[in-house]
Amino acid sequence: MIKFTAEQGIARVTLARVDKQNALNMLMFMQLNKIIKTIKKDKSIKLVVITGEGEHFSSGLDIKSVMDKPINIFKLLFKWLPGNQNLAQTVVLGWQSIQVPVIAHIKGNCLGAGLQIALGADYRIAHSEAKLAIMEARWGLCPDMGANVLLSGLMKRDQALWLASHATTVSANEALKLGLITQVSDNSNESVDRMITTLLSRSPDTLAAIKRVTQLSFKSQTRKILATETYSQIRLLLNPNTKKAIANAKNKNLQKYANAKTW
């Protein structure tokens, strides 16, 4: 589930499935979509913080719960026009449509769909021990949640290509060098609080204008990218090699747990 509070102008959005390292299921996608709409309408909100409950931000998509029901794939990927956002893309790019600053507070694992949601924020502050990865290639899939729209303004093309292709974790310090995150901190709670204090001391109209102008300066061919993401993902989902990749990934995960001393 997603926990949502709004107090003293600060909205806090918390991914809360601690037993699954906050892995995203269909309910969470729908809740995030609703929360984004709520924040856009609430003029009392001046800043948003997205984080994960417990030790981790999010381990990514809960593959089993989502893919066991074909209707879930349809709900995530359906769109009326190719260049429109589907549900999976809205929970990432929706944060960019909010006029107020959005901070992602990253700790522990921030993987796959979790990282893509964090990329939708304006700022990403990560604990020094955090691990980040775009994981879709492990399952024979490609990133399809709008991350490609954002990565073009954050990273060099070859680094973005390699990050999505090798599908293994990078440390917070490596992520900082790549441009994936804004700050690394040994005390990320304090760093987030300092950023909140600084941003709230500025005029909200000024921050909204800066966000809007900055987005325009880094504007890419958004509709074309979103259409290509979804088209590519649908083709992969119908590809026999994807089924093999998913089966292999599941077997590797089972083997990892079997070899572990504790679960």
Could you read off the pLDDT of 141-163 as tens digits, one per residue?
A: 777 787 888 888 888 989 988 99
DSSP 121: S
DSSP 80: S
For the chain, helix, strand, coil in percent to 5 are 55, 15, 30
Residue 21: CB partners within 8 Å, gap ≥ 6? Answer: 52, 54, 55, 56, 58, 59, 108, 109
Which of the residue ranges 83-87, 131-135, 192-196 would you say has the lowest mean pLDDT?
83-87
Cβ atoms within 10 Å, residue 163: 24
Residue 55 contacts residue 110 (beta carbons within 8 Å)? no
pLDDT above 90: percentage of residues in the chain: 58
Which of the residue ranges 31-35, 86-90, 185-189, 230-234 would you say has the lowest mean pLDDT?
230-234
pLDDT recorded at residue 257: 32
pLDDT recorded at residue 38: 97
Please, which pLDDT band fits residue 223 given cuts at 50, 70 and 90? low
pLDDT at 239 over 60: yes
Q: Which of 11-15, 136-140, 162-166, 233-237 is the most confident on average?
A: 11-15
Domain at 2-259: CATH architecture? Alpha-Beta Complex (3.90)
Residue 12 contacts residue 189 (beta carbons within 8 Å)? no
Q: What's this model's pTM, rounded to 2 decimal places?
A: 0.84
